[in-house]
Amino acid sequence: MYAFVRFLEDNVCYALPVSCVQDFSPQSQVDFDNQRVYTVYRNLEPDQGALHKAQILALAEDKTDLENSVIQKKIKIPKLSVNPLEDTGEFKDYGEEEMELRHSKRQDGRKQHEGTHKSIEAVVARLEKQNGMSRSSNCSSEEAFIETSENTNISDNVNDPVVPRVVYEELLRSYQQQQEEMRHIQQELERTRRQLVQQAKKLKEYGTLVSEVKELRDLNRRLQDVLLLRLGSGPAIELEKVKSETHEPEPELRNTFKEEANTSSYYPAVIPVMDKYTLENGKVHLGSGIWVDAEKWHQVQVTQGDSKFTKNLAVMIWGTDVLKNRSVTGVATKKKKDAVPKPPLSPHKLSIVRECLYDRIAQDTVDETEIAQRLSKVNKYICEKIMDINKSCKNEERREAKYSMQ
DNA sequence: TTAACGCGGCCGTCGATGAG
DNA sequence: CTCATCGACGGCCGCGTTAA
C-alpha cells in the first residue's frame, strides 16, 4: 500500500510505501488521520535516511492509481490537529498558510501553467475580496487546492471549508469576461489613439494650408500694387490699346520694361506704358530726341493730377530759368499796351509734353472727348507755371529789396 | 502750441482772336 | 456781330515751415 504524503518542511508531495511511515499500518485506504503529523522516511527504503514530519493525504494499493487519483482530483489539505506535544513553532505555521503543493513528478508540467494559475488565483482572490465573498479568515486560510491540469474538483463534502467549484468557475468566467472586456477596451483605446493622431495630422495640415493661403493672399496683394504702380491706375486693356498705336516692335517693349524695372530702387518701378520711352544711361527718351533724367521722370509719373504733371514735366524739360523768360505762344499780353512779347516755347517740345499727358490720360479713360478736353489745358497749365515762377521771382526781388532797404 | 509767412495749385477775370 | 477759345494775370486757399 502506498501513501500520498506532504512533507511539512518543504511542502513537497509524493507517493511512498506506507512502510516509510513510522508506526503506521493501515487496514484500509481510509485508515489514516489526515490531520495528524506522521514521521516519514523521505527515501524509498524504510529505515534509511532521516525522519521528516509529513501529512498523509491519501492511501491506495497501487502507486500509479494513487498518483493518477491525486493528479485528477483537487484535494483539500486539511488543517493539522493542534497537538500540544507536537505543536512546535516550526509546524504551527503550516496549517495557517495557503500552501502550494509541489508534486515531485508533475513539477515540470505545473511550471507551464504556473504563471497563468497564479494570476488567475490572484484575480480570484481579489474578486472575492471585492465582492465580499471572502469567507472568514479561518476558512480561507485553510483553503488550498491541488490543481490538476483538468482543473477537476472533487469536493464532495459541502461542509468542507473550500470554495465551491461553482463559485470558482463563476469567478473564473467573470475574470475571463473582464479580460475580454479589457481587451475590447484596449482595442477601442488603440483605435481612438489612431484617430487622434490622424486628427492631429489633419490639424497640422490645415494650419499649414491656412498660413499658405495667407501668404499667397499677401503676395497677390503686393503683386496687384506693383502692377497698378507700373500701369498707373488704368486697366490692362489700355496697355494693349496704346501699344497698338505706337507701331513699335514688341521685344523692345519688353526690354524697356526690364530696364525700367532695374532703374530706381527708391521710387516704385513706374514703367511707362509706351514702348517709345526707352531708358539709356539713366535717362529716359520721351521722343524726338528729348531726354530727361530717369529719376525725375519717375517723380513726375507719380504726381497726381494733370496740372501738376504738366507743370512738373515742363520744368523738367525747360527748367525754371528758361520758363520764366518765355511765354507759351510768344504772344505778348494785351493787358498792357507796351508789353514786350516773350519768346515762345518750342512747339516741338510742347507737342512732346502734350503727348506725355495724352499717354497718361489714356490710362484713365478711353473717352476721346474727355481726353481732348483735358489735353486742351496743357497750354494753360504751362502758362500758369510760367506765371507762378515769375510770381516767385517777383516775391524774391521784393524781399531782397526789402532787405536792402533795411 | 500757435501765429506768421512762403509757396504752389487752382480758379476767375480780362482782352484778343477767329469762326460762323 | 456774336460767341467760343486761348493766353496772361491776379487773387484765394491749403499746406508746410519757422519763430516766438
DSSP letter string, A243-265: HHHHT--HHHHHHHHHHHHTT-S
> Are both A226 and A293 inside the same structural domain?
no
Residue A213 lies in a domain: yes
- Assess whether pLDDT exceeds 60 at residue A175: yes
The grid cell for A135 is: 469567507
**Beta-bridge partners for A60:** A2
> Are both A282 and A400 inside the same structural domain?
yes
- Assess whether pLDDT exceeds 70 at residue A257: no
* A361-372 pLDDT, tens digit each: 777 777 777 777
- Assess whether pLDDT exceeds 50 at residue A354: yes
> Are both A380 and A295 inside the same structural domain?
yes
Residue A326 lies in a domain: yes
Q: Which range has the top average pLDDT, A6-10, A248-252, A268-272? A: A6-10
Pairing status of strand A2-7 against strand A12-17: antiparallel
> Are both A220 and A296 inside the same structural domain?
no
- Assess whether pLDDT exceeds 80 at residue A17: yes
| CA A174/CA A182 separation, integer angstroms | 12
Q: Which range has the top average pLDDT, A108-117, A267-276, A285-294? A: A285-294
Q: What is the mean pLDDT of residues A237-259?
A: 29
- Assess whether pLDDT exceeds 80 at residue A41: yes
Give the model's pLDDT for residue A169.
85
Give the model's pLDDT for residue A21.
85
Å separating the CA of residue A264 from the C1' of nucleotide C12: 38
Beta-carbon count within 10 A of A226 CB:
13
Categorize the per-residue pLDDT at A117 as very low, low, confident or very high, splitting at 50, 70 and 90: very low
| CA A78/CA A56 separation, integer angstroms | 10
Å separating the CA of residue A284 from the C1' of nucleotide B17: 38
What size, in residues, is chain A?
406
- Assess whether pLDDT exceeds 70 at residue A107: no
Contact positions of strand B to protein Cβ (< 7 A) = 6-11, 14-17
Q: What is the mean pLDDT of residues A330-355?
A: 69
Using the CA of A384, give the nucleotide whose C1' is nearest.
C8
Å separating the CA of residue A303 from the C1' of nucleotide B8: 14
- Assess whether pLDDT exceeds 50 at residue A148: no
Å separating the CA of residue A390 from the C1' of nucleotide C15: 21
| CA A380/CA A377 separation, integer angstroms | 5
Domain count, chain A: 3
> Are both A292 and A370 inside the same structural domain?
yes
Q: Which amino acid, one-letter code, is at A131?
A: N
CB < 7 A contacts with chain B (nucleic strand): A 305, 307-308, 311-312, 334-335, 384-385, 387-388, 391-392, 395-396, 399
Q: Average per-residue pLDDT in chain A?
A: 63
Å separating the CA of residue A267 from the C1' of nucleotide C18: 29
**From the C1' of B10, which residue's alpha carbon is nearest?**
A307
Out of A73, A102, A127, pick the residue that ends a domain. Answer: A73
> Are both A216 and A298 inside the same structural domain?
no
Residue among A72, A38, A69 at smallest CA distance from A56? A38
Whether the Cβ atoms of residue A269 and residue A261 lie closer than 8 Å to each other: yes
Residue A162 lies in a domain: no
Residue A265 per-residue DSSP state: S
Beta-carbon count within 10 A of A363 CB:
18
Q: Which range has the top average pLDDT, A42-56, A79-93, A310-324? A: A310-324
Residue A176 lies in a domain: yes
The CATH number covering residue A374 comes to 1.10.10.2590
Å separating the CA of residue A256 from the C1' of nucleotide B8: 34
Using the CA of A342, give the nucleotide whose C1' is nearest.
C8
> Are both A282 and A390 inside the same structural domain?
yes
Out of A73, A97, A119, pick the residue that ends a domain. Answer: A73
Contacts of A23 (CB under 8 A, 6+ apart): A39
Å separating the CA of residue A369 from the C1' of nucleotide C1: 30
> Are both A190 and A283 inside the same structural domain?
no
Q: Which residue has the higher pLDDT, A178 or A390?
A: A178
> Are both A389 and A293 inside the same structural domain?
yes
Residue A141 lies in a domain: no
Is A393 within 7 A of strand C by CB distance?
A: no
- For residue A51, what are the domain limits? 2-73
Residue A188 lies in a domain: yes
> Are both A335 and A220 inside the same structural domain?
no
> Are both A226 and A291 inside the same structural domain?
no
Give the model's pLDDT for residue A238.
31
Contact positions of strand C to protein Cβ (< 7 A) = 5-10
> Are both A344 and A285 inside the same structural domain?
yes
Q: Which residue has the higher pLDDT, A295 or A152?
A: A295
Beta-carbon count within 10 A of A153 CB:
20
Out of A73, A108, A131, pick the residue that ends a domain. Answer: A73
| CA A189/CA A184 separation, integer angstroms | 9
Q: Which amino acid, one-letter code, is at A178?
A: Q
* A311-333 pLDDT, tens digit each: 878 877 877 777 777 777 776 66
Give the model's pLDDT for residue A136.
39
Residue A160 lies in a domain: no
Residue A260 lies in a domain: no
Beta-carbon count within 10 A of A349 CB:
16
